[in-house]
């Protein structure tokens, strides 16, 4: 089939070649160096930008702290499972610390609870490790919240000094301590049900943001308004660019949509 409009076809082809050339440049490490020594590409830069502005709107520690006071001097008893977790390297952030194996993790979880002023013992059955917790529920929550604040403020060394092991491991341990017993506590009803709701809330609003945003510096969206607008505008322009390059090629080729 002959090209109906060679000039329009060539325009579309040149635009498409340019489009993919930009794609290659976006993936090339031309924009600085990551903290692990690898090159930083445009997507790493954009991830860092949007992570930093989203962090400023993900701080709920004060809200959680107010709710924790309702559980002061309230006793609790629950059992948590210790299991290895997998973490992926997040673009724009340092590599995550190596997550401990279940046996070591159980020991770490015991350390967290005992440092909070409660009782904890670890046990193993058929290769699975678990931790039994007893004590003041308010104190346990307060200790976890204190650690979350330190991590949110990128002060992981405070946790290393406090516990003697990796800060990200500590936050992972807190999350497991509070996540696995929720189903049994909810089924028990009464105080245990209310405690399970609080465990879920502190995990979602304090521990998870603290872990996910660790090492990222929070910035207000208004302070980064220009880069945000440019990146969004560039995305729209880039999408339109691709669409028009295909349109010109198809029209130049002579393809038409007809009823």
84 or 248, which is more confident?
Answer: 248
Q: Whole-angstrom Cα distance, residue 59 to residue 11?
A: 50
Helices (H), the chain: 6-27, 42-55, 61-68, 102-115, 137-152, 156-163, 167-179, 182-188, 190-202, 208-212, 225-253
pLDDT at residue 159 greater than cutoff 80: yes
pLDDT at residue 36 greater than cutoff 70: no
Going edge to edge, which strands form the sheet with 119-125? 75-82, 128-136, 119-125
Q: What is the pLDDT of residues 93-113, one digit of tens each?
A: 333 445 668 888 999 999 999
What backbone torsions phi and psi does residue 87 show, to the nearest 5 degrees? -130, 135
- The pLDDT score that the predictor gives to residue 119 is 96
- The pLDDT score that the predictor gives to residue 208 is 94
47 or 116, which is more confident?
Answer: 116
Ranges of each domain in the chain: 61-212
- The pLDDT score that the predictor gives to residue 194 is 95
Least confident of 37-46, 78-87, 164-173, 237-246: 78-87
Q: Which two tokens stand for residue 19?
A: 């489009």
CA 18 to chain centre: 34
CB of 221 within 8 A of CB of 56? yes
Beta strands in 67-136 (DSSP E): 75-82, 119-125, 128-136
């Amino acid at each position: 089939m002959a090209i109906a409009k060679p000039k329009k076809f060539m325009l579309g082809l040149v635009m498409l070649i340019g489009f993919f050339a930009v794609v290659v440049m976006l993936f090339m490490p031309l924009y600085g160096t990551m903290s692990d020594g690898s090159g930083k590409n445009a997507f790493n830069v954009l991830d860092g930008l949007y992570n930093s502005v989203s962090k400023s709107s993900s701080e709920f520690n004060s809200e959680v702290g107010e709710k924790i006071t309702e559980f002061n001097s309230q006793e609790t008893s629950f059992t948590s499972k210790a299991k290895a977790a997998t973490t992926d390297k997040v673009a724009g952030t340092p590599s995550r610390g190596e997550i401990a194996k279940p046996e070591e993790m159980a020991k770490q979880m015991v350390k967290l609870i005992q440092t909070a002023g409660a009782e904890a013992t670890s046990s193993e059955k058929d290769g699975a490790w678990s931790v039994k917790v007893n004590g003041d529920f308010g104190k346990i929550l307060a200790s976890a919240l204190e650690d979350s604040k330190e991590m949110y403020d990128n002060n992981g060394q405070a946790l290393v000094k406090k516990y003697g092991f990796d800060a990200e491991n500590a936050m992972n341990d807190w999350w497991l301590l509070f996540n696995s017993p929720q189903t049994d506590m909810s089924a028990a009803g009464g105080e245990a049900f209310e405690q399970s709701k609080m465990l879920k809330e502190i995990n979602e609003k304090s521990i998870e943001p603290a872990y996910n945003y660790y090492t990222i510096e929070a910035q207000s969206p208004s302070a980064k308004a220009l880069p945000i607008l440019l990146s969004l505008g560039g995305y729209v322009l880039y999408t339109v660019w691709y669409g028009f390059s295909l349109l010109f090629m198809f029209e130049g080729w002579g393809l038409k949509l007809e009823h």
